[in-house]
């Protein structure tokens, strides 16, 4: 029972409907953006159309099998070669070592050689294909051989695999063996020819090289004779370098001493310019004479201060002490002047010595540069001579190696296994073709189903309704069959519950039922909804408001001479046009009556509003079956007097854009759309609903369809 309640809650509307950023979206429509992909939805879609996928799968497998059977049989002959890099000769000795990269490059080059037209033409001539009957009247080209040939190096080895494809197993094996033989012969010929050409080039360059060596030797000897001291150039460079190092150290010392004296003289001059006593200068304080005079000056100053305590300023003793004090100051000044002159003299001497050292260093450097130029010139002549001599020796060695290569050339290609006629065809491979056809068919079937779903712009699931219309699905009515009558009744009961929850306020509720286009089942839905409401104990009035193509009187099998139009035009009263239904005492119905010329005007009359007001006093529910919204404006006008609107949408019916436009019209008019009734759902085709309706078929009923005892 709890599971039943959960399943029913999926169809019940909330109080305000789906929410949008601006508030409730009742009567609105949603944007597709932000919709998350539901894997289970696609799984249900594929399961519901599994027969289409299976049909495409079977058709693809059948076509692949037919294609494989009708194709001509092809045979493949194979052979393998070991290709070893050619041995090089260095210093008249064979060197067989090659690096991994050299081997890989060499194998790649040989693969290119095996696929050349030149080699294929040799094979054509060797086989004499021009004499075969099938080539009579035309000259077979290299493409006859290369068309079926495949050359592939084996990874991480120096093995090359060759294969040839054709319809005759004996012929392709023979052709492939001849191809390998011609490749080996061509390789030997190319190697010998290459060595011969190298030998000829070396011999053509030996005489000019000998002449160049002799000329370079003469130039070297002439230069050496013109510079006698060149033999001792290295010793001279060492001596000059030592002298430069020694003078550089002395120059640095002289420069430092000159800077120190210059700094001291500058400081003394600044003290004199500021009229500051020079006695505080460090050089002056360190002088012994200055120190002795300062000591004597201090003693006189102490004695003077002592006498001033006894005698006045003009006293002879005072005068005598001041004379001694001034004499000491003058002696100090003379000694300072003597020190200054000494520092200036020493500064001049150091400066001249610094300049002399600098000039000597520059002279030695110039002498070194000249000696280096001579040495470089000699080295250039010597390098030219040695280079030409080495080149001559190398060419003589290569000449000897070329002689050895011509006489000692060996074939570096070995056949691992000769090609033999294949025992059976390799193509077509029936099993592989069927497997690939099955995989392709499966993907094509799935793609077809998804493509059809993508092109399907109708509404089939509650998720689609909520996403594209912004409305909740109050109930989903399955297509009526002999097996799902109970499920259909349960769906209408769910709809009744949802409408009761959606009702605002107490008292009678006026419900207008409409659709977007004709033939969506709104009249049948209105009729059955009215019966369900009446069966629940509510007084229900069903009004056929479709004044374009009314159908209610046909369903009731009554005449349509009087009805809604008669009431609105004042030609009849409500009690005179009411029809009852056998078995439903709480249900009254009013047919459309004669069709008016302008139905929208009829719904706008005050008499129509008075009719609804009268019905509110007598009934609990008033259901108005109205025309499609997308076709006429009748439902928009009539809905202004209803409490809510129920939109009937046929499963897989009109395009969702048409339905959305119809809902947009209702919203603009200020009508409250309670929700959507999804009608005529094919639960056998759509796996989305199978789990939901499964409980209706099995819950509470035994195998004979009888209600179980609780």
The string of pLDDT tens digits covering residues 299-311 is: 777 777 777 777 7
Q: Is it the case that residue 705 has pLDDT exceeding 60?
A: no
Token duo for residue 615: 């019905």
Mean pLDDT of the chain: 76
Q: Please report which helix (H) or strand (E) contains residue 650, including its range.
A: strand 644-650
Q: Is it the case that residue 379 has pLDDT exceeding 50?
A: yes
Q: Is it the case that residue 428 has pLDDT exceeding 70?
A: yes
Q: Is it the case that residue 105 has pLDDT exceeding 80?
A: yes
The string of pLDDT tens digits covering residues 149-177 is: 888 988 888 888 888 888 888 888 888 88
Q: What is the pLDDT of residue 400?
A: 65
CATH superfamily placement of domain 505-642:
P-loop containing nucleotide triphosphate hydrolases (3.40.50.300)
Q: Whose structure tokens read 């009957």?
A: 133
Q: What is the pLDDT of residue 207?
A: 65
Residue 36: pLDDT band (50, 70, 90) is low
Give the contacts of 449 (CB within 8 A, at least 6 positions apart).
45, 46, 49, 52, 53
**Which has more pLDDT, 403 or 273?**
273
Residue 122 CA to residue 654 CA, distance in Å, equals 73
Whether this model's pTM surpasses 0.75 = no
Intervals of CATH 3.40.50.300 along the chain: 505-642
For the ranges 466-470, 528-532, 617-621, the lowest mean pLDDT is seen at 466-470
H runs (alpha helix) in 461-605: 462-469, 485-502, 522-535, 552-556, 564-568, 574-577, 599-603
Q: Is it the case that residue 664 has pLDDT exceeding 80?
A: yes
Intervals of CATH 1.10.287 along the chain: 232-393
The string of pLDDT tens digits covering residues 312-354 is: 777 777 777 778 777 877 777 777 777 777 777 887 888 888 7
Q: Is it the case that residue 421 has pLDDT exceeding 70?
A: yes
Residue 450 CA to residue 52 CA, distance in Å, equals 11
88-92, 168-172, 279-283: range with highest mean pLDDT: 168-172
Q: Is it the case that residue 127 has pLDDT exceeding 70?
A: yes
Neighbours of 241 (CB within 10 A): 12
Residue 117: pLDDT band (50, 70, 90) is confident
Residue 103 CA to residue 105 CA, distance in Å, equals 5
Q: What is the pLDDT of residue 623?
A: 93
**Which has more pLDDT, 245 or 420?**
420
Closest-CA residue to 144 (of 164, 114, 173, 170): 164
Q: What is the pLDDT of residue 709?
A: 38
- Considering the domain 232-393, what is its CATH architecture? Orthogonal Bundle (1.10)
Q: Is the link from the previous residue into 585 a cis peptide, with omega within 30 of 0?
A: no
Q: Please report which helix (H) or strand (E) contains residue 294, including its range.
A: helix 288-308
Q: Is it the case that residue 131 has pLDDT exceeding 90?
A: no
Q: What is the pLDDT of residue 97?
A: 52
Q: Is it the case that residue 210 has pLDDT exceeding 90?
A: no
Token duo for residue 704: 């004979």
The string of pLDDT tens digits covering residues 484-514 is: 677 778 888 888 888 888 887 778 999 999 9
Residue 290: pLDDT band (50, 70, 90) is confident
């Amino acid at each position: 029972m709890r599971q039943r309640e959960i399943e029913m809650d999926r169809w019940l509307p909330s109080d305000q409907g789906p929410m949008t950023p601006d508030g409730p979206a009742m009567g609105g429509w949603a944007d597709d953006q932000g919709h998350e992909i539901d894997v289970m939805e696609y799984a249900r879609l594929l399961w519901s159309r599994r027969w289409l996928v299976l049909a495409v799968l079977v058709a693809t497998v059948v076509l692949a099998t037919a294609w494989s059977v009708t194709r001509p049989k092809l045979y493949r002959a194979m052979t393998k070669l070991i290709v070893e890099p050619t041995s090089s000769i260095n210093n008249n000795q064979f060197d067989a070592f090659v690096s991994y990269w050299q081997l890989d490059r060499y194998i790649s080059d040989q693969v290119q050689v095996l696929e050349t037209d030149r080699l294929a033409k040799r094979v054509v001539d060797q086989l004499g294909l021009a004499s075969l009957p099938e080539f009579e009247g035309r000259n077979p080209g290299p493409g006859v051989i290369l068309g079926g040939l495949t050359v592939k190096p084996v990874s991480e080895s120096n093995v090359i695999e060759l294969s040839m494809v054709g319809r005759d197993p004996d012929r392709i094996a023979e052709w492939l063996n001849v191809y390998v033989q011609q490749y080996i012969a061509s390789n030997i010929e190319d190697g010998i020819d290459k060595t011969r050409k190298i030998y000829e080039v070396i011999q053509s360059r030996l005489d000019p090289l000998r002449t160049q060596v002799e000329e370079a030797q003469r130039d070297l000897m002439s230069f050496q004779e013109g510079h006698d001291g060149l033999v001792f150039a290295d010793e001279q460079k060492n001596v000059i370098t030592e002298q430069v190092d020694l003078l550089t150290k002395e120059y640095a010392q002289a420069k430092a001493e000159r800077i120190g004296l210059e700094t001291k003289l500058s400081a003394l001059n600044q003290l004199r310019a500021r009229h500051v006593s020079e006695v505080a200068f460090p050089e002056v304080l360190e002088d012994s004479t200055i120190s002795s005079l300062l000591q004597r000056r201090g003693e006189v100053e102490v004695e003077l201060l002592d006498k001033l305590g006894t005698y006045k300023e003009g006293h002879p003793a005072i005068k005598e002490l001041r004379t001694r004090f001034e004499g000491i100051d003058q002696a100090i000044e003379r000694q300072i002047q003597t020190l200054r002159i000494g520092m200036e003299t020493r500064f001049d001497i150091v400066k001249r010595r610094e300049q002399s050292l600098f000039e000597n260093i520059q002279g030695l450097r110039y002498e070194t540069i000249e000696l280096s130029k001579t040495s470089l010139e000699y080295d250039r002549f010597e390098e030219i001579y040695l280079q030409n001599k080495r080149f001559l020796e190398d060419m003589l060695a290569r000449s000897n190696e070329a002689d050895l290569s011509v006489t000692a050339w060996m074939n570096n290609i070995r056949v691992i296994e000769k090609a033999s006629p294949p025992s059976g065809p390799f193509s077509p491979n029936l099993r592989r073709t069927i497997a690939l056809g099955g995989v392709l068919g499966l993907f094509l079937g799935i793609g077809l189903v998804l493509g059809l779903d993508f092109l399907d712009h109708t509404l089939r699931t509650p998720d689609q309704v909520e996403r594209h219309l912004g409305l909740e699905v109050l109930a989903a009515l399955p297509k009526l069959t002999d097996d799902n009558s109970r499920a259909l009744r349960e769906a209408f009961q769910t709809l009744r519950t949802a409408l009761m929850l959606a009702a605002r306020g107490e008292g009678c509720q006026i419900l207008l039922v409409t659709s977007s286009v004709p033939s969506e089942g709104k009249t049948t839905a209105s009729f059955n909804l009215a019966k369900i409401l009446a069966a629940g104990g509510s007084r229900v009035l069903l009004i056929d408001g479709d004044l374009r193509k009314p159908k209610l009187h046909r369903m009731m099998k009554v005449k349509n001479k009087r009805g809604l139009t008669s009431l609105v035009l004042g030609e009849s009263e409500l009690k005179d046009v009411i029809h009852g239904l056998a078995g439903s005492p709480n249900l009254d119905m009013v047919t459309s009556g004669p069709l008016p010329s302008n139905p929208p005007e009829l719904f706008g009359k005050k008499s129509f509003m008075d009719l609804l007001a009268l019905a509110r006093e007598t009934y609990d529910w008033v259901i108005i079956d109205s025309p499609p919204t997308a076709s006429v404006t009748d439902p928009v006008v009539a809905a202004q007097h209803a409490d809510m609107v129920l939109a009937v949408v046929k499963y897989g019916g009109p395009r969702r854009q048409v339905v959305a436009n119809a809902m947009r019209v209702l919203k603009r008019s200020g009508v409250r759309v309670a929700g959507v009734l999804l009608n005529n759902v094919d639960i056998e085709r759509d796996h989305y609903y199978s789990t939901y309706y499964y409980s209706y078929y099995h819950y509470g009923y035994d195998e004979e369809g009888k209600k179980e005892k609780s």
